[in-house]
Amino acid sequence: MFRCLLVLLAMLLAMPRVLAQPIEDEALAWLQEYIRIDTVNPPGNEYRAVEFIARILEAEGIPYMTAESAPGRGNIWARLEGGDEPALILLQHTDVVPADPKYWSTEPLSGEIRDGYVWGRGTLDMKGTGVSQLATFVSLKRSGIPLNRDVLLVATADEEAGGLFGAGWLIEHHPEIFEGVGLLINEGGNGEKLADEIIFSVEVTQKVPVWLRLTAVDTPGHGSMPNTSSAVTRIVDALAILRANPFPPRIVPAVDAMFQALAPSSAPEWQEAYSHMANAVQDAGFLEKLQMHSPALHALTRDTCSITRFEASNKINVVPPSAWAEIDCRILPDRPSEVFVNELRELTRPTGVEIEVIMAFTPAVSATNTLLYRAIEEVTAERHPGSRVMQSVSTGFTDSHFTRDLGIASYGFDPTIVPEAEFARIHGNDERISVDAFRRGVSDHLAIISAVVID
């Protein structure tokens, strides 16, 4: 079936307007322009991205809708109508995290092409993927080939701050977008060369963010006359308890599958452990060794909490009446967040701190027995001989948690092959993407989606 679809794809790529650029050329130019659009969150101003996408859709004669969840917080969606199969959404977020120009070798929003790379904030997270989706969407429209299902392009605000002005808001205020949708592709996984093979990781679930504020109230006073306890010492004691009591390891099925898939391409010293992680995490010293080797992989073996914010007195000689700290907890997707929070409350009860939930999502895992997942497997195998696909678990969160709650099979995947060393640039300095890899990723993305939506 897929050989026929690839022949069909070649026809599709040949069908755009006479003398028009190849879609990869257009996509590269779009990406450069997109990077130059300032959608740094905060404050977001994603309406600028909406205007950019809307201009391209208008040029293609594709109707679209827009909505602002708050002033400047723009969202846009468009639909290509097809047959009666459950619809497919191409989901992207248009905001990016801040970048300090002092630590970059180019302007963070330059979109400059240098040394074979496009440089700029968002090239990897996730304007590059967003442009691949846009190129796929436009190519399907230009082809005129009947689709077996509706295909939607949905570009949202605010993902980098939780998505409450973007995907979460759309689900609440425009639920019609998601009605009849069965499949969704978003950010979260990609191709990577490990050892001598290419592995395509498809994110099927993620650790659940549970953001908490710890607050303590006690007797204030002068810094020269400390009492037996204070709001500050209560917070410090509570945080010390968390530091001294790391959460016990447990290997959930999706994590186990991910480690088993990683094992063959890993260094010999890790292969046995990755193949039997439920046993390995019980060995003395293994978790410490794993954390030194890869904090990201270590984080998949247990619930975690990072102490990220702390505030008390605004004057050095004043013991304040109250103090607070905020912690970023990420829990494995096998139990409700309420259970975890209650455990923390019990653990820190002796300190007298109050724990408030700032944000907590619900756990969900997407099954892999779908047409979209099979298309990823078969098209990547066809176009990248010797490669393989593995399901993965993300330590961070994406907007896919919103759509998984709706029962939509949601996958984090972009077929662009990104070297491991480049991942540190996501949310870091000198974010960039290889021009050649991006162009290949655009073509591969179109092939995968075509395999799903064209009979």
Q: What is the pLDDT of residue 20?
A: 52
Mean of the pLDDT values across residues 196-211? 96
Mean of the pLDDT values across residues 25-33? 98
Q: What is the pLDDT of residue 195?
A: 79
Q: What is the pLDDT of residue 7?
A: 44
Q: What is the pLDDT of residue 18?
A: 34
Cα(388)–Cα(258) distance, rounded to whole angstroms? 12
What the block records as the tokens of 176 is 């019609």
Q: What is the pLDDT of residue 50?
A: 98
Please write the tens of the pLDDT for every residue from 89-118.
Answer: 999 999 999 999 999 999 999 999 999 999
Tokens 């186990």 belong to which residue?
256
Q: What is the pLDDT of residue 179?
A: 98
Mean of the pLDDT values across residues 227-237? 97
Please write the tens of the pLDDT for every residue from 240-282.
Answer: 999 998 999 999 999 999 999 999 999 999 999 999 999 999 9
Cβ atoms within 10 Å of 172's Cβ, excluding its own: 11
Tokens 């602002």 belong to which residue?
68
Please determine, for residue 1, whether its predicted confidence score (pLDDT) is greater than 90. no
Q: What is the pLDDT of residue 4?
A: 45
E strands, 288-444, in order: 304-311, 318-319, 322-331, 354-360, 388-394, 409-417, 432-434
Q: Is 271 helix (H, G, I), strand (E, B) or coil?
A: helix
Q: What is the pLDDT of residue 19?
A: 38
Q: What is the pLDDT of residue 16?
A: 39
- The pLDDT confidence band at residue 194, using thresholds 50, 70 and 90, is confident
> Which of 300, 301, 321, 298 shows the shortest CA–CA distance to 311?
321
Kindly give the pairing relationship between strand 322-331 and strand 304-311.
Answer: antiparallel
Q: What is the pLDDT of residue 124?
A: 98
**355 phi and psi angles, rounded to 5 deg:** -115, 125
Please determine, for residue 9, whether its predicted confidence score (pLDDT) is greater than 90. no
Q: What is the pLDDT of residue 3?
A: 46
Q: What is the pLDDT of residue 196?
A: 83
Percent of the chain with pLDDT over 70: 95
Q: What is the pLDDT of residue 91?
A: 98
Tokens 């779908």 belong to which residue?
370
Please determine, for residue 226, whether its predicted confidence score (pLDDT) is greater than 70. yes
Q: How remote is the C-alpha of 261 from its chain's centroid?
A: 20
Q: What is the pLDDT of residue 253?
A: 96
Amino acid letter, residue 114: R
Please write the tens of the pLDDT for every residue from 50-71.
Answer: 999 999 999 999 999 999 999 9
| pTM > 0.85: yes or no | yes
Q: What is the pLDDT of residue 405?
A: 96
Mean of the pLDDT values across residues 175-184? 98
Cβ atoms within 10 Å of 305's Cβ, excluding its own: 20
- The pLDDT confidence band at residue 17, using thresholds 50, 70 and 90, is very low
Please determine, for residue 360, whether its predicted confidence score (pLDDT) is greater than 50. yes
Please write the tens of the pLDDT for every residue from 278-304.
Answer: 999 999 999 999 999 999 999 999 999
Mean of the pLDDT values across residues 363-368? 95
Q: DSSP label at 40?
A: B
E strands, 223-321, in order: 304-311, 318-319
Q: Give me the domains of the chain, ranges plus CATH numbers.
A: 2-206+364-453 (3.40.630.10), 208-360 (3.30.70.360)
